[in-house]
Structure 1
Amino acid sequence: MSAYFKILKPLLVLTLLVLTVSSVFAQTTRIKGKVIDAKTGETLPFVNVSIMGTKQGTQTDMNGSFYLETPQLKPTLRVAFVGYSPEVREIDGGKIVSVTFKLKTQNTDLQEVTVKGKKDKYRNKDNPAVVLIRKVIEHKAQNRKESLDFYQYNKYEKLEFDLSNVSEKFRNKRSLRKFDFVFNHLDTSQITGKVNLPMYLKETISDVYFRKLPENKKEVIKGEKMTGLGNYVDNNGIKLYLEALYQDVNVYDNNILLLATQFLGPTAPVSPQFYRYVIIDTTAFKGTKCVNLGFSPRNSNDQLFQGTMLISLDSSYAIRKVQMGFSKDINVNFVTDLRVSQEYDFIENEGLMLTKDDLAIEFNLLKKENGMGLFGQRSVSYKDYIINKTIEKNIFEGLKTDIQKDAEKRDDAFWEQARHHSLSSKELGIYSMVDSVKKVPAFQRVMNTATFLLEGYKPMGGFEIGPVNTFYSFNPIEGFRARIGGRTTPTFSERMAFETYAAYGFRDERYKYFASATFSLTDHNTYTYPIKHFRISYQNEIKIPGQELQFVQEDNFLLSFKRGQNNKMTYNKVLNLDYLNESKTGLTVNINFKNIRQTPTGSLYFNTLQNDGTLKSAPEIISSELMIGLRYAPNEQFYQGKNYRIPIINKYPSFQIRYTLGVKGLLDGQYNFHRLVAYAQKRIYIPPIGYTDVALEGGKTFNPLPFALLTIHRANQTYAYQPEAYNLMNFLEFVSDQYAAVFIDHHFNGFIFNKLPIIRKLKLREVITFKGLMGKLSEQNKATAENGLLVMPTDENGKPSTFSLEKKPYMEVSFGIENIFKVLRLDLVKRLSYLENPNVSASPTIRFRMRFDF
């Protein structure tokens, strides 16, 4: 209020303002309530709460809470829920009121099929509610908007994120005094009744087109506006991540994607096997007589919805309104409330289309109902519907989502005209507030510190030092290893990026180093998707043969801890030229040239077999390789970090194929060869019993080559579980020139544990894994005196330590428990084959993995 004191100095004006505000608040009754079962004390979700004599009303959330505002001084509330006697109570108004309703169960015919259904056995047989939902399922194909030949409309989407339930104690923290101006933007949520602080706002205006034959859908984004935190985070990645959390919800879909997870919908053909249904009452909705149908999970922990839907009492059995959310016991992390509210209306008497579409989610790290957290609300409105009018074919050409060139540069005049409804003063203030926060030195210090701790880089002008987790590591060859390095930022240059590091091993007393230069071939920086760049680099480094880690550096401190022996390594000098071209279609082209010089170290030796049976040492092997790779990943989404990408996995597959040509004589390359590798992966959703990740890989190398240039299968000797490595295979244990591999992970999402009385309270989730590898080493790649190839490695006693896979496939299985403390996964891994190999454990072994997931 300090700003008002400075402006309104005259005492009379200030007094009038206070009296006016007091009068307004006096005329507004704000009701925060909770509804519980009078006997058990359990909270009741989706209870109807209405103000008698008005059309005002709401439903309780997953925690049994509700919030209402009314100008009435003494409103009368009616609280009603199937299976319970309704309660009517007059509220003393003119202030904020907290009230608790304790509903008593009633003995009615509906009790047998109540949504709670704990006392009486619920049955599908002879249940009129189940008969009704089966009619809805039978007719849903004709009621979906996709049943129309054509449709188009203008769409306005608003996604807002607030800091929820901001307390007075939080506002008065000393550390926030330099940010006190942001509290001028506090607002009371009309949904939860909690005091919120707006933090993020994204608006999108677009035109949407659909045709049935051949089926195609196109969205043309005409304007996009959002708050951002500059170079501290990947703003586009945040946008994509939030879009993955807040997907379009179609109640007619069998599987509904939310929070990057698929949930079985209440109108799926198999839904009567997992949901309970009950007829609550009949009502009129916009002139149409409807049945109010309630639904809830048979098991409250399962990843299903609960709520109500209004179904037309005519031959269409169309859904006209749906309100649904989660059970408070659902096995979903960090979500304290979720509400979907949708309404369907007839457009041009041709078909039912969405006219109201709201999705609100409240997040809290510990799932505390009254704790401070995040509240996100996605509101979508539609207008200018055109139904069953032919749309020109050229509209559907190109990408399914097409962003117009100047969409992110629209001025205020465009938005004032394009928005379907005006923003509130609080919403308008978010943009200026965030811009002001970014300029505060204290905020910049906080963000720099957070960037250093979370991503491992310390900004210093146009350069940043890091990553911090590589500054210190150790291994048997180098002993203690020290490293220092960094990279330029877009502040230095939008079109060029440079990266370097230097390291020193105190045991081998050798320096290692790396330097690269990247040149963007687009109008944006080298880190922004889609990337199109040329990179040149040179590296002098120590490597574990066959270990190419995708998201982390090999000298990461946490990877220094390994089981068994880890003393077979090579010193590599690598010249790398790389051209990368990503496109928004999902197609990536990669052309790469490498010249690699490998020198063995530790207990690894490069030896050739002589005619007299003796071994001759080979100082190094040199290869010059030209690689052409294609990758197709339609609708791929990810968050771009400083030195990694976090994929936002969806239902779409990805495919990759790489061809490598070895050229003898080019930069001293010693071998001619060809190599072909193919890879495919897909996530298969099977609600409500989880999802399965499947990956297939295969490859073949042509022409004789030493083992170091063949496929050395990716092993894992750390104690961390690695999804795409063989977790009980030793380094350099298996080599192939042709192979096929399969990785299968099925995540049950607690489907089994949710049924166990005590364990289900822990919200644990089950996962099973199978990994199989078949391979072969051709006769031409087995070392002889005639071909001069390298002899397979042996241990200190001269016994073989590297093998081919010709006897049988390598297999390992695991059973895991994930979501321990919401972030930890523990796997009991069992190796099934090649147990006779040296340094192999036949007993199951525990591995761990840290993973954040909803």
Structure 2
Amino acid sequence: MKPLQKLLILLFCFILASNHKEASAQTIYTVTGLVTDARTGEPVPFASVALVGRRVGSLTDERGRYTISAKILTDSIAVSSLGYVTQRQFIDRERTTQAVDIKLISGGASLQEVTVRAGENPAFRVLRQVRKNRVINDRKRLLAYESDNYVKTQVALSHVSDRMRRNPLIKRINESLSKHDSIIDSEGHRLLPILVSESVSRYYYRDNPQRKREDVRKTRIKGVAVDDAGLSSQLLGGTNLVSQNFYDNYIPILGKDFASPIGDNWKNWYEFFLADTTQIGDHICYEIQFDPKRPEDLVFTGKAWIDTTTFALCQIETHIGNGANLNYVRRLTIEQELEPTMDTTTGSSGMAGWLPTKIRLLADLTGVGKQSLGLRAEVTLRSSNIVVNKPHPMLFYEQPIEPSDTVATANEAYWHAVQGSLAGADSLNKDDLKAREIIDKLRAVPAVKTAEGIGQVLVTGFYKLGGIDLGPYPYLFAVNTVEGLRTRIGFKTNDDFSRNWIFRAYLAYGTYDRQFKYGGEVNYLFSRQHWTLAGVKVANDLERLGLTPELIGGNRIFYALSRFGRYRGAYRSMQKELFFRTEPVRGILLTATLGSRTFDPIFPFHYRIDPDMGDLSPLKSTIFDAFWSIEARLARKEKYIMDGNDRITLGTKRAPVLTIRYTRGLKSLGGDFNYDRLTLRAQQSLRLGPLGRMTYLLSAGFTPSTLPAPLLFPHIGNPTPLLTNNTFNRMQFYEFVSDRFVAIHIQHKFEGLLFNRLPGIRKLNWRLVANIDALWGSQSKENQDVETFKPLPGGMKPIHFGTLDGAKPYLEVGYGIDNIFKLVRIQAIHRLTYLNGGPNGIPISPFALKASASINF
């Protein structure tokens, strides 16, 4: 299961649901008071008074008086004014009206001189100094750092329309909840909580070489459709969601790159206003407000507070507006508070860079349409006990791949201590405790349990039944010209069955060929830390030449759809494999395989047993291949989490993934041929800032042996109307076969680079995409001589495989519009070479429009 799938299940559970009934009245809380100078007693006019943790506040009038009205209170207010120390004062969250007077103490601090050039925005000088002093203030200057982290995550359904309230599911939910089961946010929206979690961890970072480790010490989770505390603690218990560094030029959020307001390109993206100087903690800061020059761009609006002496970022509040070219996001807020760290390694106790000590991320997500159901997620992180520039040995960072079994063990005394120290004011408050009670009631509703099961099947493809997962559902049915109606049932075991033994099996049947197909696999997992397992698998099934799951890179949907329609290149195959896989060093995965496979075509195909005899050679159609192979996969900085017995990759953060495999076929193992085969594969995603994102897949293969075409490299064509990445979308199935090749698939997403600047189009949030697919390949004369053109018994003409000219590449280019209705992508594909007609008389159309659908932010 992918990392975001757990949260997606939460949406599926209530996709037709809504919140409870509207409140008949909303309580308004009022705080009034007087702000005065502590020494003279004189009123302080125009002082800023705000609720701590909320963007609700006001200014004092000429007499120093203020009034704050809010739908919900925090536990304190903060008062600040130029020349005074910021003062915080406790307030009673339960009282509807209260008077709180504040006495401010003179700060006595002097500011650095600011020189403003004629005609220049005064904020520019401050921002230039921020970039100049980055080498001193950025956390990246640290050799290493570590900290204790407290993370609280809350997820709730929001923005429920009247139409949704009439849904039968929500009616059952309303019947189970009382009118007191209500949580209202600071903006007056009624929320239905579905997840509340707390986690404590120790985070370690080392630079040069970069290594990270996070030990999740304790977690407690209460949620709907969240059963696996181990997986949830890995997803929700660390710094993965809240690790943005605003000193970087671009901030990655939801798979997009947002321009930083203090990055190198700040002047190109933002309008700035130097508002005032104020005190943040112990620091006198410039307050700089920033707004996007173009609201459709991937940028922020908000405020930054810059220290007046070091020009370090002390605090920042950023918001993403509704105009940004971003799907399914009503609002997204990131708030950070940073503090300088002290380097005690040299005994000088000097400043060593600034680290965030408090981070808050709030996201309001929505579906398609203005009236769709919303999902609100809020993550709060607090860091303390920070130690810098004391790196651990390299082996220390090779942490266990999953937390220990005691992480989720209940321990109220532990949490009481955490709330009194590390968590502080961010520990579970009154609303959080109420949310846990509501979640318990929701999980007891039978309709909710049913919705959980449906959501699990839709998202994962499997239905969990105790220790067995039934599925996957995309393979359940297919209709094609060989099998007729194909039905398939399958299962796999999960960690409830065993944490070491893993069983997989399926059975399929075709109504036309009236044959059973089957497959089975048994694995034993020796080590999760070094991902060491051994297994054996057997499969007897109908396959299509060039479209095995291994060749298409595990694209489950494309593989399932390839079983529909006219089934060209079909063959029956019996595969047997014994394999061993291990990761001795993090990032290097080794696999050794011993196996065999049969090729029994049901399309007209024969090959020459003795090519030197030409047309006099005996012919044969079947192939028995026996082989061994060894594969190395190198993925630097790749991070994993564990979901039961499955290991899920979180990606490599821009580092390439390299795979090299050597295969040796042997007659001594019972095969028909001796041969050598070498294949290489590299793939990577590149962030190009304002130019968008580029992904590429580079593959190559070579075999010096003389073999029939099915044992060479049939290239993956895709004549279907479905657009599929990393295939040749204007090539027929098995149109070309090579014994040596190099292929490159490049896809670039320009995001809103062009369309955001076109009047009338930019409001549609369309995105420009482009691709180029190229293939250089050839066949030796010896391999071409293996193919026969001699009519088969009965006069049938044999299938012919095309051959590429080594000096002339096969080339496709494409361009299109993505994000139509937030789902659809339409792409034009042009085939630029080999236009004279394909093998076997199949006409070639050099142009096609293809479509695909995907959910992307």
Taking structure 2 as the reference length, the TM-score comes to 0.77
Output the CA distance in 2 between the equivalents of 1:324 and 1:94. Answer: 30
- 1:669 CA displacement: 0.9
1:602 alignment partner, SS class: coil
**Equivalent residue of 1:628, what SS?**
strand
CA distance in 1, matches of 2:234, 2:615: 64
- Offset of 1:332 from its aligned partner? 0.6
Matched, 1:247 2:239: no
For 1:363 and 1:681, the matched residues in 2 are separated by: 31
Q: Does 1:319 align with 2:323?
A: no
Among candidates 515, 518, 529, match of residue 514 of structure 1: 518
Pairwise CA distance, 1:200 = 1.6
Distance 2:240 2:823 in 1: 18
SS of 2:317's equivalent in the other structure is strand
Say whether the 8 Å CA contact 1:229–1:235 is kept in structure 2.
no
Give the whole-Å Cα distance in 2 for the aligned partners of 1:800 and 1:783.
12
Shift of 1:515: 2.9
CA offset digits 1:134-166 (Å, max 9, x no partner): 221121221113334554432212222122246
SS in structure 1 of the partner of residue 136 of structure 2: helix
Maintained 8 Å contact 1:638/1:646: yes
* 1:532 CA drift (Å): 4.2
SS at match of 1:130: helix
The 5 Å alignment of 1:533-572 reads: 533-548=533-548, 549-552=552-555, 558-560=561-563, 566-572=567-573
Query: Partner of 1:196: helix, strand, or coil?
Result: strand
Quote the offset at 1:245 in angstroms. Answer: 7.6
Corresponding residue for residue 738 of structure 2: 736
Alignment partner for residue 473 of structure 1, among 453, 468, 478? 478
Contact 2:288 2:303 in 1 (8 A): yes
**Number of residue equivalences:** 751
1:713–1:735 contact (8 Å) kept in structure 2: yes
Question: Would you say 1:685 and 2:687 are equivalent positions?
Answer: yes
Please give the alpha-carbon distance, in whole angstroms, between the structure 1 residues aligned to 2:471 and 2:177: 33
Instruction: Determine the structure 2 residue equivalent to 1:597.
Output: 598
Which residue of 2 is the match for residue 296 of structure 1? Answer: 291
Identify if the C-alpha distance between structure 1 residues 51 and 674 changes in structure 2 by more than 3 Å, giving closer, same or farther: farther
Q: 1:240 to 1:730 in 2, by over 3 A?
A: farther
Farther off after superposition, 825-834 or 461-470: 461-470
CA distance in 2: counterparts of 1:358 and 1:231, whole angstroms: 23
Deviations 1:416-464 (A, max 9, x none): 2234233224434656765665555443333333334444445556555
CA distance in 2 between partners of 1:715 and 1:243 (Å): 42
Distance of 2:646 and 2:435 partners within structure 1: 30
Paired with 2:50 and 2:31, the residues of 1 have a C-alpha distance of 16
Equivalent in the alignment of 2:87: none
Question: What is residue 345 of structure 2 aligned with on the other side?
Answer: none
Residue matched to 1:332 = 326
Task: Kindly state the Cα deviation for residue 230 of structure 1 after the two structures are TM-superposed.
Answer: 7.0
1:620 equivalent in structure 2: 622
- Cα gap change, 1:209/1:446 in structure 2, threshold over 3 Å: closer, same or farther? closer
Name the CA distance, whole Å, in 2 between partners of 1:715 and 1:744. 16
2:180 is aligned with 1:175 = no
- Please name the residue that 2:40 is paired with: none
Instruction: Tell whether 2:270 aligns with 1:267.
Output: no
Q: Give the % identical residues.
A: 24
- 1:373-392 aligned within 5 A: 373-387=374-388, 390-391=390-391
Kindly tell me: are residues 149 and 174 of structure 1, through their superposed partners in 2, closer, same or farther at Cα, counting changes over 3 Å?
Answer: closer
In structure 2, what is the equivalent of residue 5 of structure 1?
A: none
The residue correspondences of 1:117-196 to structure 2 (distance < 5 A) are: 126-148=120-142, 151-165=145-159, 174-176=168-170, 179=173, 186=181, 188=183, 190-196=185-191
After superposition, residues 408-807 of structure 1 pair within 5 angstroms as 408-409=408-409, 411-419=411-419, 420=422, 421=424, 422-428=427-433, 434=439, 437-438=442-443, 440-458=445-463, 463=468, 465-507=470-512, 509-522=513-526, 532-548=532-548, 549-552=552-555, 558-560=561-563, 566-581=567-582, 585-608=586-609, 611=613, 613-614=615-616, 616-633=618-635, 634-637=637-640, 650-666=653-669, 668-783=670-785, 800-807=800-807
Distance 1:485 1:215 in 2: 42
Q: CA deviation at 1:406?
A: 3.9
AA matched with 1:379: T
Q: Deviation digits for residues 815-848 of structure 1, max 9, x if unmatched?
A: 0211111121111111111112323534321112
Task: Give yes or no for contact 1:149–1:211 (8 Å, CA) kept in 2.
Answer: yes
Deviations 1:358-417 (A, max 9, x none): 11111111474x8641111111112223456x4554785424999567434463322322
- Please show how residues 47-86 of structure 1 align to structure 2 within 5 Å: 54-56=49-51, 59=55, 68-69=70-71
- Quickly say closer, same or farther: Cα 1:704–1:169, change in 2 above 3 A: closer
Pair 1:277 & 2:281 matched: no
Question: Deviation of residue 500 (structure 1)?
Answer: 3.2
Q: Structure 1: how far apart are the matches of 2:708 and 2:479?
A: 29
> 1: CA distance between counterparts of 2:227 and 2:146?
38
Alpha carbons of structure 1 residues 326 and 478: separation in structure 2 relative to 1, 3 Å = same
Instruction: Return the alpha-carbon distance in structure 1 between the equivalents of residues 516 and 605 of structure 2.
Output: 19
Residue 547 of structure 1 deviates from its aligned partner by: 1.0
Most deviating of 749-758 and 580-589: 580-589
Aligned counterparts of 1:345 and 1:372: Cα–Cα separation in 2:
38
Unaligned runs of 5+ in 2: 1-22, 33-44, 58-67, 81-94, 98-116, 343-349
Query: Where do 1:807-822 residues align within 5 Å?
Result: 807-822=807-822
Q: In the superposition, relative to structure 1, how do residues 822 and 271 fare at CA in structure 2: closer, same or farther (>3 Å)?
A: same
In the alignment, is the contact (CA less than 8 A) between 1:578 and 1:592 conserved in 2? yes
* C-alpha distance in 1 between matches for 2:29 and 2:640: 45
Take 1:454 and 1:713, find their aligned partners in 2: how far apart are those partners? 31
Is the alpha carbon distance of 1:648 and 1:209 closer, same or farther for their aligned partners in structure 2, counting shifts above 3 Å? closer
The 1:486–1:185 alpha-carbon spacing in structure 2 relative to 1, beyond 3 Å, is farther
The alpha-carbon deviation at position 29 of structure 1 amounts to 3.8
Q: Give, as a single letter, the amino acid of the residue that structure 2 aligns with 1:519.
A: N
Instruction: Give the superposition deviation at 1:640.
Output: 6.5
TM-score calculated relative to the size of structure 1: 0.78
Of 338, 341, 365, which aligns to 1:344? Answer: 338
* 482-491 or 672-681: bigger deviation: 482-491
Secondary structure at the aligned position of 1:299 is classed as: coil
Where 1:688 maps in the other structure, the secondary structure is helix
RMSD (Å), alpha carbons: 4.2
Higher relative contact order (CA 8 A, sep 6+): 2
- Alignment-mate amino acid for residue 478 of structure 1: E
| Aligned partner letter, 1:831 | R
Q: Distance in 2 between matches of 1:793 and 1:235?
A: 62
Cα distance in 1 for partners of 2:638, 2:202 equals 19
- Choose the corresponding residue for 1:359, options 358, 361, 380: 361
Q: Label 1:647 to 1:204 Cα distance change in 2 as closer, same or farther (>3 A).
A: closer
Distance 2:148 2:259 in 1: 29
> 1:337/1:238 Cα in 2 relative to 1: closer, same or farther (>3 Å)?
farther
Q: 1:202 aligns with which of 197, 204, 222?
A: 197
Partners of 1:588 and 1:231 lie apart in 2 by 31
User: Does the Cα contact within 8 Å between 1:234 and 1:641 map onto a contact in 2?
Assistant: no
Q: Report the Cα offset of residue 465 of structure 1.
A: 4.5
Distance, in Å, in 2 between the alignment partners of 1:678 and 1:460 is 40
Report the residue type matching 2:700 in the other structure: G
Query: What per-residue deviation string (whole Å, max 9, x for no partner) do you get for residues 470-501 of structure 1?
Result: 33323333344343444445555444343333
CA distance in 1, matches of 2:473, 2:416: 46
Q: Which runs of 5+ in 1 are unaligned?
A: 1-21, 32-49, 79-92, 96-122
Change (3 A) 1:213 1:846: closer
Whether the 8 Å CA contact 1:241–1:638 is kept in 2: the answer is no
Partner of 1:223: 218
Cα deviation, 1:727-784, whole Å, max 9, x if unaligned, reads 1111111112222121211111121111111111111111111111112222342325
In 1, distance between residues paired with 2:232 and 2:791? 45
- Residue 621 of structure 1 deviates from its aligned partner by 0.8
